[in-house]
Amino acid sequence: MPCLYRSQLLMSETYITYYHSPVGLLKITGTKDYISEVSFHDTSQKAEGNKKHLPPLLIQCVEQLIQYFQGERRQFELPINQPGSSFQQEVWGELIQIPYGRTISYLELARRSGDSKATRAVANANGKNNIAIIVPCHRVIGSNKELVGYAGGLWRKKWLLEHEAKVAYGVQTLF
């Protein structure tokens, strides 16, 4: 089952946990029903999550991220939810459709979203994605095949793309 996208946030208790990944500290936020954030944080920050027991969904999210980084998972199977306009939701839905180990340009993403002239709007929506890796905004690159724009830093984007290429195709370096 692929990621399920919900169009609006439901009121529920929020939980936070952290995972020390190969690309740095990841903050994972969600409820018992959905994941609402996976974001990069400096390891200098204090990584304290909820003191109470985490719901199974957040534990499952960490486990799936571990599997991803170990090259054992190519698709996430988690309910996700983040607030955004209908256009942003559409763009994020398109991001989930980009196959593992592949990239598309911002122009192609704009075309898939219905308007090839909306490249800037698509890039802006891409940049507002709060569920890194799971909603794979790192798979969007410039039309000239250059790495451009990534909230987690271009070094992380490069690492993620090289990781996926190595797992998917045995390719050592893309860039």
What is the model's pLDDT at position 175? Answer: 53
Q: Is CATH 1.10.10.10 the classification given to domain 84-169?
A: yes
Q: How many contiguous H segments (helices) and E segments (strands) does the chain have?
A: 5, 7
Predicted TM-score (pTM) of this structure: 0.86
Region(s) of the chain under CATH 1.10.10.10: 84-169
137 flagged as catalytic: yes
- Beta-carbon neighbour count of residue 52 at 10 Å? 8
Fold classified for 4-79: Double Stranded RNA Binding Domain (3.30.160)
Sites in the chain below the pLDDT cut of 70: 1-11, 43-52, 171-175
Active-site residue identified among 65, 109, 137, 140: 137
**pLDDT of the residue at 5:** 45
Cβ atoms < 10 Å from Cβ of 75 = 14
Q: Given this model, what pLDDT does residue 89 score?
A: 95
- Cβ burial of 30 (10 Å; 0-12, 13-18, 19+) is buried
